[in-house]
Structures are given as structure tokens and as C-alpha cells.
Structure 1
């Protein structure tokens, strides 16, 4: 609405941390953005655990399956040892068959357990995500208009979709990997000591420097990847700004295409160098890990060749030991990054809970007063209304207005006088700071939001249409409307003939934000959509501002017919729109300074007469 000032209230997302999965920073060092997020909005593990309480049985089974899978997998090296040391030297076919069968059984059991564990953990994660996503969407729907004017739309979508989507990784990746890695590391270490405590000691000496080297390379790659992701984000923004419908229109009208192309080419060129560095860093990491994987077994083979360190081990024991040692490195790296994973996961929950904990500024009444549309008359009364976006900056002060059922009130005044803000209080897009707004004697704060929406219809100068067909856009206002009722509403809004002339008629897709239609056509669709709801009170905020004079006169004639049975509050800068109103309220600096009919106010020779003479509410050229 035109008179809404920009709020100075800080956005709830003043320090955005971006959207990434909880496994996005596995380098052994907590991401500074995650730490800042948790410092600004702490979250307790107990609260996170409550989300999974309804699924604790399934989670317990997941943990048991993880432990069982890891334990079963550890049997493989011991089976290999018996094959090498016993079955093959003795040519014992029966024993060999049993051992090979057991090895296959271990593989099948591990695979089957993994499938069941993945199904259970994913199911739990998806159900928790669904509940959290649905609850957060419903909570945000209850937020006031002020919240959305001071919050970037992309941030709301990011938290609702990306952050909650990434949150599933807490169950399917972070939590399960901790249990699996811990089981593998402990089990492998115990088995290695059981096989040869000497070689186990050598492994423990060699592993730490190998782990540190790998982590250093991973940190280097993380830095390069961070720069690359930032430039990719810049590239996505440039694509959105330069190739969207609105962006292309702005670019062509400003002649900015060469500049945007050069800017895009520069960003793309930066990505070339960063991509090369990222690939090299990845190759260095893989090379380092390959060296580690080769060096540690080599050291063990060397130690096994000396009598002092071999302890007389058999070939089968050595092979089994090497196999166990090979399973130790990756789980150990995972455990070393537990702190990073938990911090990243908790940062995601922090971002989600930050929105979930937002207070509802316009709350539903505890005991709503029923006011059915069928019996509503539409009498609107404003008693001592005051409103302020900020406590020290009042927008409206001491407004007293009465619009009888079926009456019409026009609000006029200079830009910023408070017209749109005043009109927004009737459908309760904002709550009054003082005084009250009532319909048929019932304070709008005592009405359920669904009942109020059925009573009050709003058409603003900023028309929003869904990327769907004309029929779907209109039926969005009243899902149960018949095709005949939809067409009747369009006839009343003088848009039916145009729609019927289109090749696909009412099934024509309006396009992104309604770009298939002109501004005036979009407003007529918005009027038809509101008329389809048949509200008792109609609020028109510059609803005919985009129409030519002839179309406006046609719609005003229609509105004269349809407003005879409903109360109408109109905001307009055209004299043709307001002159026939039962009352005209002139606002200045948030106060009603004049009130009367068109003729009365002209005779008064005050502010309204000045507005007419000054051209702020001029007659249309054709009038």
C-alpha cells in the first residue's frame, strides 16, 4: 500500500549465514558464520532432541543397526586370516567353503542392514522435516505485513526450504555417522590390538601426522571453495537480475545491456581461475590421502619384517591387520570433525528456531466472536484510532470515522498522509496502537482471521497474480466458485470479453507476476477476484490507478452497482473516483482535517479545495 513507510526495525536475519548442509565444512575447524549464528541465537540440544522424541523408537533401532552393521563388518578380516592361515595351507575345502560362505554372508548382512538403516533414518528425517516445515510455514503465515516488509523474501524462502532440507542431514548423516564411526574406530582398534599390539602401536604413531596433513590440505581446499561459492552466488544474482522478465525490461529501457554483459564476463572469468584452483586443491587432497593410504601399510609391512616387531605373526594375521587398519582412517577423520558437524547442524536449527520463535504481532483471538458473512451488514466504525510503526513516530492520531452499512467513504490527502495505513487497519493487516476498528459493532481483533477475510475484500494498486491460469487465479479467492460465477465476476470487472477472446480463454496462463496482461488488465483481474468473494466491506486502494479514463468510468459504473449492497472505502487521486462518495475524509499528517461530501468540502474552501485546484485529485481529461 502506498503510504507504508519503510520500517527501521532490524531484519530478523541481519547476519545471514547462508544455506548449507551440516556436512559442508568437514575440515576440523568450525565455520565462523556458524559460530556467529549460534552466538546471536543460541539453541539447546534438549530442544533439538524434543523434535525427535516421537520417533525415539525408530532412532533406537537405527543406532542398533549401525552398531550391528559395523560389528558384522569387522568379522571380515578375521575370516580372511583363517582362509590364508588355515583353509588354503591345509587344502581344507570344507573349511574354505564355510569361510567363503561366511564372507558372503557378512557382505549380504551388512548391505541389508544398511538398506534398512537408511530407510529408517531417512523416514525419521523426512517426517521431522515435514512437521517442522509445515509448522514454520503456518507460523510465518500468521506474521503481520510489517514482518515481510522488513525481511528479505529470499531469506524467508531459504530458511523454509534450504535450511530445513539440510536439517535432514542431522539424522541421515551427522548423527548416524557419529555412531557408525565410533563403532568402527573402537571395534577396529580393539581388533588390531588383539591381532598384534606391536603393529597397533606403530599404527597409532603413524596415523596422527597423516591425519593432520590431510586436514591441512582440506582447509586449503575449503578456502578456495568458499571463494568459488561466493562468485557462483554473484553469478546467480546477475543471471536473475539480467535475465528475468523484470530485469530484461529494466536493462533494455536503461540501455544497460553492455555493462551487465561485461560484469557477467568478469565474474565468469574469475570463476575460471577459482575452478582451476579448486580442482588442484582437490587433487592435492586426494594425492595426500593416497600417500597416507600407501605409507601406513608400508610401515606396517616393514615392521612385520623385523622379528622384534612382528611377534611371529602369520601371513593371514598381517593381511587381516592391514585390512582393519585400512578401515580406521576415514572413520577417525569423521570423529575428529564431530565438533564441526554438530556446530553446523546446530547453526541450522538456530536459523530455523529464530523464525519459529518470532512473536505473532497479530494473534488470533482466544474466543473469536462469530460474524457470518450471510448476516453481516458491513458497518465500519473507527473510534479514536491511533497507529505507529515505531513508538516515537505516530502515523495516525485520533481518527474517528463512521461508515454506515452500504455507505462509501473516500480517503484523500497528500502522499504520506496515512491513507493506505488507515485503510489497512480494516482488514487488520496491522493492529491499531490505540482506539478500535469495528465491523457491525465487533472489534476486528475479536474476529477470526478467516471470518474477517470473508467480510473485507481488498484491491490495491500493486496487483499480484499467481503463475497459473486465469481461472486458477480467480478461484484462488474462492476455491468452490463455479465457472459461471467466475465469468460473472469478470463481466462486472469488464475483463470477460478480453479473456474470452484469448485462444485458451480462462485457461490462459497469466505468466510470471501477470506479465501476460497489461497493468490495467491485471487490476481488472484483481477486482474480479475480490468481487468473486462477495465481501461485505470493499477496500479499494488506488484500485483504478492503472486504468485509462474510459475503462475507469466503465468499472466505476459497475462498482456503483456492486457497492450498493456493500460498504466501500476508497483511496484515489482521481476526482472521478471520489466525488460521488457519501463521505470524503481529507487526511494530513495522520489526522482527519476535513470530512464531508464533495460539494460541502469545495464550499468549505479548505484543504480539499486546495487539492482539487492543485491537481492532486484532477478531473480526467475526458470528463
Structure 2
């Protein structure tokens, strides 16, 4: 039976490390987000103080109305007092509009900075981070977690300042009217603060669970509603299973939302009853002190009623801040991720790149693995020459290609271009030197033209068309109804595998790199198209350094040098003729082909 209790028992409990993470979020770090807006916040604070001071005139005006103007039938005084009350309301309302405008602007700017900082920091993460992390989890942190912080970021600072100022000013006014009645009114504060702290701790734990459940929901959406996910579900007949999985996750969210909203409600309801009972106690106390005027009693109860709203808001704000610490913890966790592949502090600039590529005793092990994917590889690829890497699946060929593009850094050894270690080059400079076409083609959901221009934003239409001709895809594109303005569809599903591959080739060639890395770049092409594209590559490789990875040995037999990779090591290297004559591993592969 799907009872709330049953659903609750299925929720993942927070680990001690996660609880400690939420507790250890530095409030100073949160406050530092607002440092750049000190001037605006100072103006808001001044407006808040002025508004609070002005609003306190109302109960004193009311006392004069009841104790003086009405009993004496002084219409002139009564008129001025009424005008004063209206003026107080108008001024405080105008202050409120200005305060809301400034504080919301500041809050939205802080939100913008948080979103941008997280996105840009994640852009600097290595490919290893994205292979370890679910896409839906990343999206959830940027959208759900930062979105959940919006109320806290945009209104908390001003809410605290406004309500705190109002509470202090109201208490001062109450004491000025009657210090004895003030003691009666304020006796409820200690238990209110204690209960609020209890509720805050409850909300914080539930918020962390809710955000993780939202992340799981995002993952289900990503896996079930993307083009690839939908296709997989339809071909495997798992649509009903995905619906059930989504429904169960959504059901758990209902429970968490209810628990978050109801956490401590009975405690806070008790406080509301106590606050509501205080006026009755005040009237009783006033009855025991007959010297107190009616105006004073009415003014005091007005102040006491006005105290309840900002005091409750202040306590609720404390609960919201405590609950939001779980969100800040998740965001700061991403912002604090170390950058595994980073720009050097003192980058070297290659002004005239020849393209001489060298591997010097390179070893690389994927995080979490015990066996090296590449071990002790040394290769020398002179500028303008071609190197082919061949070997069985999983031998380490694609890992070598990833190291050339610096998607990862070697665990040992180094890779150089023109004698400069890749780690001494800026990543943007390296991406302009090394062009990669992999077997996995990714196209953006936009036009063909914009997909090509992604590689070179300032490319002219003529340059785009030249690159497409070189990749043997121009004629097909211009034959489409919208030509280069044709939408490619999500992940390029408008085109076949071979067509997508040629668009990706054109995109890389548009950058005009000195070093080409072709990782199974023609794997999705038929024999006829492969030959045409290979001819284009042969022409474009003149004067460039080209590293080709291929299973089809026919595409690499003309390479200047062929290296056979086996279990991450180079076991043979030489020309096609030399390797065949040696009757080693390459000869076996050639015979099998």
C-alpha cells in the first residue's frame, strides 16, 4: 500500500558527510556574494530604517486621536492627525516600492553570477568529470538548486533588515509607552526562538533530500525524453517502466514537499495562539493599572499586533536560511571542484606552429582504474607527416587521441608540440592547433550553418562552403529545401550517420588546425563516401600533421608511419610494407582484414 509512511521509508537518508557539509557552509561565504553590491544594499538599509521610523508615528498619532482630539472635539487637530496617518501610509508604501526594486535587482544579479560561475566552472572540468556525473544531476544543480535559492537570495537580506529594524523600533516604542506591558508582551520571545531553531534543523535535512530527489527526476527526464532515450525506450519496450520510475520519484517528491511545508507547523501554530492571547493579557494588566489611558492601551495593542508580523517573518526567515544551507552546500560543492585540466599560470604562446608532435614515455590511468590505459608510449611525429594508430578495440588508441587534445593529462611523461609541453599551452590555443574528428558525432539543435560556424564564429559563408566541399557534404546541403539554413534536429537526427560525420569533419576543417586527429572519423561512411572523404583528407593533410585511428587498414596503409597499439603499449611501428614483411601483429591484422 502506497501510504505516506511507506513512501517515506523508501527515501534515501542523508549520510553524515552530507549533513556535515550542509552544516559547514560558511555564512561569511554566502554574505560575500553580496559584497559587490554594498552601495545598493546601503541605500536599501537606509530606506528600511527610514520606513520603520516613519511607520512608528502611527500608534502615537492614534493615541492623540483617542486621548486628545476626540474627547476635546478639536476638529483642526483631528484633521492634522488624520492627514499625518495617511502621509505615514503613503511614505512607507513609496519606500517599500523603491526597496523592493533595488533588493530584487541585487538578488537577481547575485543569482545570475551564481548560475554563470557554476556553468563556467563546470566548463573547465575535464571529460572525466562528465563521464562520472549524470547529466540530469548537473542540470538539476544549475536549475533546481539555484532556483530554490532565489527567494533567499533576492529577499532575505532586505527581509532581515526590514523586520529586524521594525522589531527593534516597535519594542522601543512599546517601552516608551509602558515598560510594564512590554515585559508581558516580550515574555514569549525565548520559547519562540527555541522552537524556530528546532524547525530550521528539520527543514534543512528535508531540503537536502528533496533536491537529491529532484536531481533523480531530472535524470529520468533526460534518459527518457531525449531523442536517444526515447528511441531506446521504444525499441526495448521499456516506456511503461520509465513512466513507473518517473511516477515513483514524483510521488516521493510529494511526500518531501509536504514534510517540508508541515515541518514544525504545530510548533509555529502554538506560537501564533500565544501571540494572539497576549492582547487579552495586556487588557487584564491594564485593568490592574487604572491610571493608564485608553489611548495608551489602544496604541500599545496596535504596536503589539504590529510586532507579531515582523517577528514571525524574522523567525521564518531564519528557518528559510537554515533550509537553504543545503542548497548552498550543493552549489559550493560544484564551485569547489578542482580543475583537473587547467590553463597554465604562465602559458607559452606558439606564434608559428609547425606541428611536430612527440610522445615522451607517456603513461595514463583513468581515475578509479588500477591498470594503465596507456603505458610508456614514445612516438615522434614530424611536422607534416601522418601517423596511423591501429589495434584491437580497447587497446588504447582513442585514449592517445584524447591525450593529444588534452582532454586528459598524462599520469607520467609528456606530450609536446614543437617541443612545448601541452600543459604549458592555453587550452584555447591548443584547440586551435589540434582539430579532432571522433567516431561519436555531436551536432547542435540548430541550422547546418550555425553548426559549422560553432567552430569559427567569425567564419564567412564562403569559408563555410569551402569546408563543406572539402568534406564532400556541400552538394547534399545545397540540395536541401533550406540549404545551409536547414535545422539538423536534436543531436543531428535530421541526417544519416555518414552525413553527420561529414558535417563534423567540415566543422573541424573550418578551424584550419595544424594537427588533425581523426579518431575513426570515417567509421560511419559507406565505402564510396569513405573513399571520397579520404581523398579530401589526403589533400588537406599536405603540410599538416595527421594522426589517424582506424580499424580499416585500407585507410591507413599510405601513412608515413603506422604504430600498432596493444594493451596501451606500442608493440610495432613502421611503414605498411615494413610491418607486413615483419610478419608480426600488424601482418596478422592485415591478413584478417
Q: Superposition pairs for residues 416-565 of structure 1, below 5 Å? A: 416-565=394-543
Match for residue 360 of structure 1?
339
Q: Structure 1 residue 82: deviation in Å?
A: 1.9
Q: Structure 1 residue 348: deviation in Å?
A: 4.5
Q: Deviations over 1:532-590 (max 9, x none)?
A: 11111100111122222222222112212222232211111122222222211101121
Match for residue 175 of structure 1?
157
1:333 maps to which of 294, 312, 316: 312
Q: Which has the higher contact order (CA 8 A, sep 6+)?
A: 1
Q: Deviations over 1:87-109 (max 9, x none)?
A: 23333222122112211221222
Match for residue 363 of structure 2?
386
Match for residue 116 of structure 1?
98
Q: Deviations over 1:64-98 (max 9, x none)?
A: 22222222222222222222222233332221221
Q: Distance in 2 between matches of 1:517 and 1:129?
A: 39
Could you say if the C-alpha distance between residues 77 and 34 of structure 1 is closer, same or farther in structure 2, counting changes exceeding 3 Å? Answer: farther
Q: Superposition pairs for residues 294-313 of structure 1, below 5 Å? A: 294-304=276-286, 307-308=287-288, 310-313=289-292
Q: Structure 1 residue 367: deviation in Å?
A: 3.6
Could you say if the C-alpha distance between residues 17 and 124 of structure 1 is closer, same or farther in structure 2, counting changes exceeding 3 Å? Answer: farther
Partner SS for 1:325: helix
Q: Structure 1 residue 458: deviation in Å?
A: 0.4
Q: Superposition pairs for residues 367-378 of structure 1, below 5 Å? A: 367-372=346-351, 375-378=352-355
Could you say if the C-alpha distance between residues 539 and 290 of structure 1 is closer, same or farther in structure 2, counting changes exceeding 3 Å? Answer: same
Tell whether 2:300 aligns with 1:321. Answer: yes
Q: Structure 1 residue 381: deviation in Å?
A: 1.9
Q: Structure 1 residue 272: deviation in Å?
A: 8.0
Q: Which moved more, 1:142-151 or 1:229-238?
A: 229-238
Could you say if the C-alpha distance between residues 278 and 359 of structure 1 is closer, same or farther in structure 2, counting changes exceeding 3 Å? Answer: closer
Partner SS for 1:398: strand
TM-score by length of 1: 0.81
Match for residue 3 of structure 2?
none
Match for residue 11 of structure 1?
none
Q: Structure 1 residue 33: deviation in Å?
A: 8.9
1:95 maps to which of 30, 53, 77: 77
Unaligned runs of 5+ in 1: 1-15, 19-30, 619-623
Q: Structure 1 residue 500: deviation in Å?
A: 1.8
Match for residue 65 of structure 2?
83
Q: Deviations over 1:484-512 (max 9, x none)?
A: 11112112222222222222221122222
Q: Distance in 2 between matches of 1:400 and 1:301?
A: 92
TM-score by length of 2: 0.85
Q: Distance in 2 between matches of 1:438 and 1:377?
A: 12
Q: Which moved more, 1:531-540 or 1:593-602?
A: 593-602
Could you say if the C-alpha distance between residues 17 and 45 of structure 1 is closer, same or farther in structure 2, counting changes exceeding 3 Å? Answer: farther
Q: Distance in 2 between matches of 1:234 and 1:432?
A: 34
Match for residue 36 of structure 1?
20
Q: Deviations over 1:422-452 (max 9, x none)?
A: 1222222222233332223333233232222
Match for residue 59 of structure 1?
41
Tell whether 2:165 aligns with 1:188. Answer: no
Q: Distance in 2 between matches of 1:94 and 1:211?
A: 46
Q: Deviations over 1:289-313 (max 9, x none)?
A: 8755654434444554xx31x5443
Partner SS for 1:428: coil
1:413 maps to which of 391, 396, 401: 391
Q: Distance in 2 between matches of 1:204 and 1:324?
A: 12
Q: Size of the alignment, in residue pairs?
A: 581
2:186 maps to which of 195, 201, 204: 204
Could you say if the C-alpha distance between residues 399 and 221 of structure 1 is closer, same or farther in structure 2, counting changes exceeding 3 Å? Answer: closer
Partner SS for 2:185: helix
Q: Which moved more, 1:567-576 or 1:358-367?
A: 358-367
Match for residue 590 of structure 2?
612
Match for residue 9 of structure 2?
none
Unaligned runs of 5+ in 2: 1-11
Q: Structure 1 residue 215: deviation in Å?
A: 9.2
Whether the 8 Å contact between 2:202 and 2:263 is mirrored in structure 1 is yes
Q: CA RMSD in A?
A: 3.8
Q: Which moved more, 1:478-487 or 1:252-261?
A: 252-261
